[in-house]
Amino acid sequence: MSLDIFLQYGLLLGAVLLPLLVLPDLLRTRRAPTATLAWLLGLVLLPYAVVPLYFVFSGRKLPLTRRRRIKARMRLARVDAVPEEQASDVDRLLRRLQLPGATPGNSIRLEGDGTDAFKAVCHIIDGAQKALHSAIYILADDEAGREIIARMTARARLGVDVRLLVDGVGSIDLPETALAELRAAGGRVAIFNPLLLGVFRGLANLRNHRKIIVADGAVAWSGGRNFSLDYMRAECPPECWTDLSFTIAGPAAQLLQEVFWSDWVFASGQPPDTASATPPAQCGQSKIQIVPSGPDVPEDPLFSALLSASFAARQRIWLVSPYFVPDEALMHAWLLAARMGVDVRIVVPQRSDSRLVDIARTSYVRDLQAAGAKILRHQGPTLHLKAFVIDDEIAGIGTANLDTRSLFLNFEMTAMLYSRDDVAKVMAVIETVMGKSREGVPAIGRYRGLLSGAARLFAPLL
425 included as an active-site residue: no
Q: How far apart are CA 215 and CA 66, in angstroms?
A: 27
Dihedral over alpha carbons 9, 15, 18, 23 (to 10 degrees): -140
Q: Select which of 61, 71, 133, 211 is catalytic.
A: 211
Angle ∠(221,224,225) on CA atoms, nearest 5? 75
Q: Select which of 367, 374, 391, 436 is catalytic.
A: 391
The predicted structure's pLDDT at residue 199: 47
Amino acid in position 433: V
The predicted structure's pLDDT at residue 69: 46
Mean pLDDT of 172-181: 93
The predicted structure's pLDDT at residue 358: 82
Mean pLDDT of 449-458: 58
Residue 188's beta-bridge partner residues? 163
Residue, of 429 and 267, whose pLDDT is higher: 429
Q: Select which of 384, 403, 422, 425 is catalytic.
A: 384
Q: Select which of 91, 216, 296, 327 is catalytic.
A: 216
Q: How far apart are CA 309 and CA 304, in angstroms?
A: 9
Question: How far from chain centre, in Å, is Cα 263?
Answer: 14
Coil/strand/helix, residue 108: strand
The string of DSSP codes covering 252-274 is: HHHHHHHHHHHHHHHHH-PPP--
Q: Select which of 209, 287, 378, 425 is catalytic.
A: 209
Q: How far apart are CA 315 and CA 370, in angstroms?
A: 19
In the chain, the domains with their CATH numbers are 3-57 (no CATH), 64-87+103-287 (3.30.870.10), 301-461 (3.30.870.10)
Q: How far apart are CA 377 and CA 320, in angstroms?
A: 10
The predicted structure's pLDDT at residue 352: 83
Q: Output the pTM of the full model.
A: 0.84
- On the question of pLDDT at 102 being above 90, the answer is yes
332 included as an active-site residue: no
The predicted structure's pLDDT at residue 309: 97
pLDDT in tens, 299-313: 899 999 999 999 999
Angle ∠(94,97,99) on CA atoms, nearest 5? 65
Per the rule left: phi > 0, alpha: psi between -120 and 50, beta: everything else, 135 is beta
Identify the band that residue 201 occupies on the pLDDT scale cut at 50, 70 and 90.
low
- On the question of pLDDT at 22 being above 80, the answer is no
pLDDT in tens, 67-94: 444 433 445 655 788 888 889 999 999 9
- On the question of pLDDT at 361 being above 80, the answer is yes
- On the question of pLDDT at 60 being above 60, the answer is no
- Smallest Cα–Cα separation from 315: which of 395, 375, 392, 394? 392
Amino acid in position 28: R
436 included as an active-site residue: no
209 included as an active-site residue: yes
pLDDT in tens, 219-258: 999 999 999 999 999 888 888 899 999 999 999 999 999 9
Dihedral over alpha carbons 225, 227, 228, 229 (to 10 degrees): 70
- On the question of pLDDT at 427 being above 60, the answer is yes
Identify the band that residue 55 occupies on the pLDDT scale cut at 50, 70 and 90.
low
Q: How many residues does the chain have?
A: 462
Question: How far from chain centre, in Å, is Cα 204?
Answer: 16
Residue 418 C-beta-side C-alpha neighbours within 13 Å: 21
Q: For strand 412-417 and strand 286-293, is the pairing parallel, antiparallel, or unpaired?
A: antiparallel
Q: Select which of 61, 378, 386, 425 is catalytic.
A: 386
